[in-house]
Structure 1
Amino acid sequence: MDNKKIYKNEIGFEAPIFIIIFFGIFIYIGSVMGGTNMIKTMMNTGFDLLMNVCFYLMAVSVLAGGMAAIFSEFGVIALINKGLSVIMKPVYDLPGASSLGMLNCFMSDNPAILTLAYDDNFRKYFKKYQMPALTNLGTAFGMGLIIVTTMMGLSVPNAISGAVVGFFGAVFGSIVSVRIMMIKTKKFYGTEEYVICKNVEPIPENKRRVREGSIGSRFIQALLDGGKVGVDMGVAIIPGVVLICTFVIMLTNGPGDGGVYNGTANQGIGLLPIIGEKLSFILTPLFGFSTPKAIAIPITALGSSGAAIGMVSDMASRGIINANDIAVFTSICMCWSGYLSTHIAMMDALDTKEMTGHAILSHTIGGLCGGVFAHLVWQLLF
């Protein structure tokens, strides 16, 4: 898509409205935390996210990029595309090759799918309307292995069954998310034009591009080239993770030990859980939660599934949740995978940032549907 220049009047109604909203939000947060503590917490949280989250995601992207590159070099992507197109096309309206992205994200984290999306041997299978949906597809399976195994190991009766039901709930949520996303992308991009490959020279039909040299040389070169793409992807997601996740954390978490604000990282005003409790009359019947405190898990999963499963472990140790809760938690935590902190950066990295708003909306709906599906299946089977 061409980058069109958009102009507005030098002075308009946007400026005063923005000033009121912007300062209103931060004056409110500062009134709760204290102005100095708010600034210190923002800086410390951003630094903590950079060091402990962004660099972790960069490492994941490097490893995933290397694996994706050798899979591309030796024809694994082409083979998977042929074998799984019969499943992926009717279910997701995506090429079979996208299943490799699902596996990458399931074994690691959301951005792992981006390294595949930069490989011409992968891109050539996609039409333009399908490429933005990779963000939703990959996110729905992000951290899946960690989440499912953690839920299975909790000291809750039938936790294993609950985690399995939750996994299938996440799969259902991914289908809903991708399909809703494509309603918009089809209208925006059309359904005929294919994604432009990064290399100017087109790839002939039924062929794939490979490197020169022996098998060993091609393996090493592909591995290193894929790792370099992973570094680029890791850098690309830093702004979105640091900026968005800092804001989400400060709206989600509470004060430090003893209920005191001292400016350390990951403190907040606890606004989102309060909103969640106000909506419990809707959410509790949909998900069948056994305690109102369970509402905090989906809210936290918006920004960080890692933080959410930590809260689940604490609730399990106190014996206040059951297997139905585990099923719903698994589904929502896996499907959402902290998407508010990665979705914007991932869409920007795919050069489809114009679809970011719709991607977030469709994935919000997908995660909620996945949680409801897990609850209904658990009630039906158990």
Structure 2
Amino acid sequence: MYSVDMDPDVARRLFEEGATLVLLGVPRGTELGIDCKSWQVGPKFRGVKMIPPGLHFLHYSSINSPSCGTEIGPKTGLFIALKPKEIILAKWDAKEEDLDFSPSKNEEEVTKIRDSLQELDPFLGPYPYEVRRKWVSFTDRLSEEVATKLQPLSGRICAFSDVVPELQLTHTKDRAEQPRNDTACQSMREGLDRLPKMRHREGTEMRFSIIPKKTYPLGASPAEITQCSMDLSYALETVLEKYYQAQPLDLLGELQFAFVCFLIGNVYEGFEHWKSLLTLLCRSEEAMRKHKDLYLGLIAVLYHQLGEIPPDFFVDIVSQNNFLTSTLQDFFQFAAGPGVDGTLRKRAEKFKVHLTKKFRWDFDADMDDCAPVVVELPEGFRVN
């Protein structure tokens, strides 16, 4: 599947201590990956070995049968937590075009695999340790508990949502009572209104934290409503109290979960939630003074997330309505305000300089324009 330049003694230790994913029957040509790397499965592929213990993201895309022409299907993924020396067994379900992990619950079958692991070794590809550091930087705040809580009940994260009509018109009488669609639409809006209303199939929806639409408390005065619209701290505290009261920093794990779902899993819903969480965090001035560790962690998370994607990614996607630059401009402005911890203020200023150099954005400029502002850097300018 691929080769790794590794010391034999280190490789032997990893083989003995690392976890193993035995994936049987995966069709040749399937695109399969773990964490930040993927490959096309060959005819001898039987799984992945030497996987470091911890949380990982297994992802794969099925292919059409050769008679239909080779087409890669939408990506499916799942977070999976592995223990040292653990063996997880899954078999490809051709009908569902998915991996079935139920054999791992059969102790006898897993024992047979363990006893024959040496013979299976030539058909197992080693974990891609060259991307290990990147994966850890993407998920260092994401615990198994948080990933399990956010992942759909089905256990699968799908690039294309599995949706069904809200109205199940199973009887002819029910269908006959619906408005007829045999006349031409007069507008795009009319056409959209005629489409059946859809919802996620039960158990397939992401279970992200719900960010309140009303950012102010019940019975707030007009002045309080205005203040809570400018400073989203009340909404942020509501989310923390409801979902992360015991561990507020786990909210950063949710931010990382959403980012991985989008960047690796191709789930656009993950990107939208990442944006919503980032807006909530960056525009909460009072919370920034209260939750120093949360915001120091946020800078570290964003440093790695923004550092691994090309600058033109933001031009094409994130900079719509100038989202990222305007959001971060608010963050840097609040971080420099009174009452903010000195360490946080210095870290934010250093991060601001780093982003200015990397993306050539001027966060001190007027952000009325819709595109990121480019700043010309002096010759020899560098960030320590």
TM-score (normalised: structure 1) = 0.26
Determine which structure has greater relative contact order: mean sequence separation of CA pairs < 8 Å that are 6+ residues apart, divided by chain length: 1
TM-score (normalised: structure 2) = 0.26
Which is strand-richer, 1 or 2?
A: 2
Which is helix-richer, 1 or 2?
A: 1
